[in-house]
Amino acid sequence: MQTIKLNNGVEMPQLGFGVYQIPLEETAEAVYQAIKAGYRLIDTASIYGNEKETGEGIKRAIDEGLVTREELFVTSKLFILQAPEEKAAETIEHSLDTMGLDYLDLYLIHQPYGDVYGAWRAMVAAQKAGKLRAIGISNFKSAKMIEFVGLNEVTPQINQIEVNPWNQRIEDQEWHEKYGVQVEAWAPFAEGRHELFTNPVLKEIGKQYGKTVGQVVLRWLMQRGIVALAKSVRPERMAENIDIFDFELSTEDIEKIAALDMKESAFFDHDAPQQVEWFMKRMEDTEK
Ligand SMILES: NC(=O)c1ccc[n+]([C@@H]2O[C@H](COP(=O)([O-])OP(=O)(O)OC[C@H]3O[C@@H](n4cnc5c(N)ncnc54)[C@H](OP(=O)(O)O)[C@@H]3O)[C@@H](O)[C@H]2O)c1
């Protein structure tokens, strides 16, 4: 697996497997199958509600000798908290306990709301204590990322943001490179929105190499130097999505993909009032 070196020297796999929206009863099996298919980066979050099942899939793969813990790169995320500086340490311990792990390879501030500075101080302390190998942010727009880097001693290793052919984040990637923050793509397939998997431009590009649309999209992210997380519950698609290291997109292909950029989220804007309202409600429900 191709790796990327983060700004603190930690190396991570460039392609990973995400477990968002996988039904609880299918998560452990999906994680196990993904590891069996060759994925080493596994991405979950406390708010997904499946940290336990993700940990079970990991444990089974380790117990069966498919991988060692050191060969895996496991990520979870801190959801919005009203008092993160006080509660984050406990939340991190809870994630570790729930997943049955001694440390996480990456831990992210999941959403750009609330006292992200207090959360960060707690995460820096946990990193120093050896519980988190890398720490980062998620869903921060470039302006907020720059402010965050400027006002903290420790620069985030990662910003996990939406990147896909409809929302390519070309300028955002340049800003992140300037500040040494690695971009990690969520929803690389835009969850299939705008008929991604049947898009004629992407299909035509893939045809030249005997590759599918999904493979073209993930290869495009690899060539851009972005870490990508793909999700599938189907072993045949897991295998398809990881089979992207034996071809190269040409400059012409990349220009054709560039022309697809709509420069807006295929989902929602994190600054939209109704969206922030939705997140505040989610926080209240989880803190109950
Ligand atoms: N930080 C954040 O706020 C955030 C937000 C969203 C996601 N994420 C992370 O990013 C990961 C990936 O994003 P995502 O799950 O939202 O969406 P995604 O990976 O863009 O799309 C997943 C969808 O594509 C389908 N699919 C996968 N491979 C396919 C293929 N080769 N051909 C056809 N269909 C295929 C899957 O269906 P099947 O499962 O039926 O195959 C699923 O419906 C998540 O799992 C999560 O870990 C993070």
Q: Give the catalytic positions in this structure.
A: 48
Of 189, 241, 268, the one to substitute when testing ligand 1's pocket (max ligand atoms within 8 A of C-beta) is 189
Which atom of ligand 1 is closest in space to residue 160's alpha carbon? 1
At which residue do the structure tokens 């493979």 appear? Answer: 215
Mean pLDDT, residues 84-109 taken together? 96
Question: What whole-number distance in Å separates Cα of residue 122 and Cα of residue 120?
Answer: 5
For residue 49, pLDDT beyond 90: yes
For residue 271, pLDDT beyond 90: yes
| pLDDT at residue 1, as a whole number | 86
Tell me, in angstroms, the distance from the centre of ligand 1 to residue 218's CA: 12
* Residue 153 banded pLDDT, cuts 50, 70, 90: very high
Which atom of ligand 1 is closest in space to residue 185's alpha carbon? 10
Tell me the backbone φ, ψ of residue 5, rounded to 5 degrees: -95, 130
| pLDDT at residue 262, as a whole number | 98
Question: What whole-number distance in Å separates Cα of residue 152 and Cα of residue 164?
Answer: 29
| pLDDT at residue 45, as a whole number | 97
The residue nearest atom 5 of ligand 1, judged by CA position, is 186
Instruction: Please return the burial class of 136, using the count of CB atoms within 10 Å of its CB with bins 0-12, 13-18 and 19+.
Output: buried
The residue nearest atom 9 of ligand 1, judged by CA position, is 186
3-state secondary structure of 229: strand
| pLDDT at residue 275, as a whole number | 96
Question: What whole-number distance in Å separates Cα of residue 135 and Cα of residue 120?
Answer: 9
| pLDDT at residue 142, as a whole number | 98
Task: Using alpha carbons, select from 230, 119, 121 the residue that is nearest to residue 184.
Answer: 230
Question: What whole-number distance in Å separates Cα of residue 78 and Cα of residue 286?
Answer: 12
Tell me the backbone φ, ψ of residue 232, rounded to 5 degrees: -155, 145
Give the pLDDT confidence of 16-44 residue by residue, as tens digits: 999 999 999 999 999 999 999 999 999 99
Tell me, in angstroms, the distance from the centre of ligand 1 to residue 235's CA: 14
| pLDDT at residue 83, as a whole number | 83
247 lines ligand 1 (CB under 6 A): no
The pLDDT > 70 percentage for the chain reads 100
Q: How many CB atoms lie within 10 A of CB 20?
A: 15
107 lines ligand 1 (CB under 6 A): no
Mean of the per-residue pLDDT values for the chain?
97
For residue 82, pLDDT beyond 90: no
Exposure of 204 in the CB half-sphere (CA atoms within 13 A): 8
Tell me, in angstroms, the distance from the centre of ligand 1 to residue 255's CA: 24
Residues 6+ away with beta carbon under 8 Å from 133: 10, 103, 104, 105, 106, 127
The total number of residues shown for the chain amounts to 288
For residue 288, pLDDT beyond 90: no
Question: What whole-number distance in Å separates Cα of residue 137 and Cα of residue 151?
Answer: 14
138 lines ligand 1 (CB under 6 A): yes
| pLDDT at residue 146, as a whole number | 98
The pLDDT > 90 percentage for the chain reads 97
Residues 6+ away with beta carbon under 8 Å from 15: 1, 2, 39, 41, 218, 222, 227, 228, 230, 241, 242, 244
Give the pLDDT confidence of 160-187 residue by residue, as tens digits: 999 999 999 999 999 999 999 999 999 9
| pLDDT at residue 24, as a whole number | 96
Mean pLDDT, residues 213-241 taken together? 98
For residue 15, pLDDT beyond 90: yes
Mean pLDDT, residues 254-272 taken together? 97
Q: At 163, list the tokens.
A: 């990147």
Question: What whole-number distance in Å separates Cα of residue 100 and Cα of residue 60?
Answer: 12
Tell me, in angstroms, the distance from the centre of ligand 1 to residue 187's CA: 5
Q: Give the predicted TM-score (pTM) of the model.
A: 0.98
For residue 48, pLDDT beyond 80: yes
DSSP string computed for 2-17: -EEE-TTS-EEESEEE
Q: How many CB atoms lie within 10 A of CB 128?
A: 10
